Structure 1
Amino acid sequence: MIEKNVVTDFCSEASEPVIDASTYVHPLAAVIGNVILGKNIMVSPTAVVRGDEGQPLHVGDDSNIQDGVVIHALETEMNGKPVAKNLYQVDGRSYGAYVGCRVSLAHQVQIHGPAVVLDDTFVGMKSLVFKSFVGKGCVIEPGSIVMGVTVADGRYVPAGSVIRTQEDADALPEIGADYPFRAMNPGVVHVNTALAKGYMVKQGN
C-alpha cells in the first residue's frame, strides 16, 4: 500500500510518498505520507514506513527495509510550527528519521525518529534505534536498543545491548579486522538490491 497521509494538527499537508522507479515496494508493505525512498531499495512484506506523524522520513539508495521493519517518528510539527527537539539535520535538511545509503534494516527492526542511521550500517534483527544518531559503517547486532545517544562511525553494538548513556555509546568497540561481522553488510545489500531489481522485472517495470 502506497498512499498519502491525512491532515492533522501535527501534519499540515497531505503528502504522496516519493519513490524512485527502481525501488520495489511489496504489496504487503505500507509506505505512507511524507516519505522519500531512493534507488534500488527493497521494501519487504509487512514493512511499514509511515510519514504521517514525524516527517519527512528518508531512506537512501541501495538500502533495504526487511520484513516487519517499522520506520516512524515523533511529531515534527505542531499547529504549523516545527518541533525542533524531534528533528535531526542531515546535509542541511531536517528529518524526522533519516536512513542513509547501503543501510540494511534486518527483520523487525524499529527506526523511530528522531533518529539517523548513516551509510553502510547494518541494524540487526529486532533492534531499536530511537532518539539516536548512528554513524557510518556501524553494526548494531540483533536484539539491541540504542536510545538517546550518538554512536561514532565504525563502532559495533554487541547483541542484546542496551545503550542509553553517551558514556556507554562512547565505550562501544571499534570494528577491527578481526570483527566477525565486518564484511556482512555488503553481502546483505547485494542480495536485497538484486531482489529489488528481480521483482521489478517480474512485475514488468
Structure 2
Amino acid sequence: MIEKNVVTDFCGKSSEPVIDATSYVHPLAAVIGNVILGKNIMVSPTAVVRGDEGQPLFVGDDSNVQDGVVIHALETEMNGKEVTKNLYEVEGEKYGVYVGRRVSLAHQVQIHGPAVVLDGTFVGMKALVFKSFVGKGCVIEPGAIVMGVSVADGCYVPAGMVLRTQEDADALPSITDDYPFKNLNNGVVHVNTNLAKQYLAAQKA
C-alpha cells in the first residue's frame, strides 16, 4: 500500500511518497505520507514506513527495509511550527528519520525518529534505534536497544545490549578484521538489491 497521509495539527500537509522507479514496495508493505525512497530499495512484506507524524522519512539508495520493519517518528511540527528537538539535520536537510545508502534494516527492526542511521550500517533483527545517531559502517547486533546516544563510525553494539548513556556509546568496540559480522552487510545488500530488481521485472512481465 502506497498512499498520502492525512492532515492533522501535527502534520499540516498531505504528501504522496516519493519512490524511485527502481525500488520495489511489496503489496503487503505500507509506505505512507512524507517518505522519500531512493534507488534499488527493497521494502519487504509487512514493513511499514509511515511519514504521517514525524517527517520526512528518508531511505537512501541500495538500502533494504525487511519484513516487519517499522520506520516512524515523533511529531516534527505542531500547529505549523517546527518541533526542532525531533529533527536531525543531514547534509543541510532536516529529517524525522534519515537512513543512508547501503543500510540493511533486518527483520522486525524499529527505527523511530528522531533517528539517523548512516551509510553501510547493518541493523540486526528486532533491534531498536530511537532518539539516536548511528554512524557509518556500524553493526547493531540483533535485539540491541540504542536510545538517546550517538554511535561513532565503525563500531558495533553487541546483541541484546541496552545502550542508553553516551559514556557506554563512547566505549563501544570497533569493528576489526576478525569481527565475525564485518562483511555481513555487503551480502545482505547484494541479496536485497537483486530481489528488488527481479520483483520489479516480474511485476512488469
TM exceeding 0.5 = yes
Q: Which amino acid in 2 is paired with 1:199?
A: Y
Q: Which amino acid in 1 is paired with 2:8?
A: T
Structure 1 residue ranges (4+ consecutive) displaced by more than 3 angstroms after TM superposition: none
Partner of 2:31: 31
Deviation at 1:156, TM superposition (A): 0.2
Partner of 2:156: 156
Alignment of 1:7-156 (within 5 A): 7-156=7-156
CA–CA distance in structure 2, aligned partners of residues 154 and 183 of structure 1: 12
Q: Which amino acid in 1 is paired with 2:162?
A: V
SS at structure 1 position matched to 2:132: strand
Deviation at 1:123, TM superposition (A): 0.0
CA–CA distance in structure 2, aligned partners of residues 110 and 155 of structure 1: 19
Q: Gapped runs of 5+ residues in structure 2?
A: none
Q: Which amino acid in 2 is paired with 1:123?
A: V
Deviation at 1:180, TM superposition (A): 0.4
SS at structure 2 position matched to 1:119: coil
CA–CA distance in structure 2, aligned partners of residues 38 and 81 of structure 1: 28
SS at structure 2 position matched to 1:173: coil
SS at structure 2 position matched to 1:146: strand
CA–CA distance in structure 1, aligned partners of residues 79 and 95 of structure 2: 18
Q: Which amino acid in 1 is paired with 2:185?
A: N
Deviation at 1:70, TM superposition (A): 0.1
Q: Gapped runs of 5+ residues in structure 1?
A: none
C-alpha offsets along residues 107-163 of structure 1, whole Å, 9 cap, x if unaligned? 000000000000000000000000000000000000000000000000000000000
Identity among equivalent positions (%) equals: 82
CA–CA distance in structure 2, aligned partners of residues 179 and 82 of structure 1: 42
Partner of 2:180: 180
CA RMSD of superposed structures (Å): 0.6
CA–CA distance in structure 1, aligned partners of residues 203 and 160 of structure 2: 39
Q: Which amino acid in 1 is paired with 2:146?
A: V
Q: Which amino acid in 2 is paired with 1:65?
A: V
Deviation at 1:20, TM superposition (A): 0.1
Aligned length: 205
Compute the TM-score of the two structures, normalised by the length of structure 2.
Answer: 1.00
Partner of 1:203: 203
